[in-house]
Homo-oligomer: A and B are copies of this chain.
């Protein structure tokens, strides 16, 4: 039997790299989509900075078509994103809102489009939400708008005639803070026991591909970590 296949969108980031290691260790074929190659991946789709959403879409879909041909994949895991703060009065408000849109919504939407064309029936699509965006985010207005859009995309894709293949699962993961090297660097004195370990997220997404603890379609899956233990809250 051929190895199961996954695309990891954002596969060179901290969480993306963890996902690739985790799935490869379980004998998956994994391709990374990112600005830089992940040498551990079986294949890489390299993004170039695009002038527009449509030109980025065209470039990525073209490269994925070349890579996959008529093959389909078992999972598309989008973990691309970023963070920038600022309230609506801040000098960088629009600049940062634009950046957040490009980093989170361009990527999630293109992942959704890839899922419509390349995900197997019953496959798994995951998108990167944020627990904070379940309510107002006055100190990071642009970030909140982008993540609210990803949540809406998740809910839309879960409904009939969204374009996803039959039986597919789409869900967003909504962490508070992920325990990444970058977050450790910039917040050395934070309570790291309240951060969600990357391996925990990898295990969670892997389980879904195996039909284990699969949440209802369209779920916003909050990851609430306290004292080193992560509770899953589904909304």
CB of A188 within 8 Å of the partner chain: no
Complex contact A87–B149 (CB within 8 A): no
A72 nearest CB across to chain B (Å)? 14
Contact with B along A117-150 (1 / 0, CB 8 A): 1000000000000000101111101101111111
* Given A88-B116, A113-B88, A218 contacting B136 (CB threshold 8 A): yes
Contact with B along A47-58 (1 / 0, CB 8 A): 000001110010
**Chain B residue at minimal CB-CB distance from A135:** B155
CB of A31 within 8 Å of the partner chain: no
Complex contact B117–A97 (CB within 8 A): no
Complex CA gap A142/B221 in Å reads 22
**Chain B residue at minimal CB-CB distance from A88:** B163
**Chain B residue at minimal CB-CB distance from A52:** B98
Complex contact A153–B145 (CB within 8 A): yes
Complex contact B57–A162 (CB within 8 A): no
Contact with B along A96-114 (1 / 0, CB 8 A): 0110010001000110110
A80 nearest CB across to chain B (Å)? 15
B-chain residues with CB within 8 Å of residue A203 when the two chains form the complex: none
A residues engaging B (CB < 8 A)? 52-54, 57, 87-90, 93-95, 97-98, 101, 105, 109-110, 112-113, 115-117, 133, 135-139, 141-142, 144-153, 155-164, 218
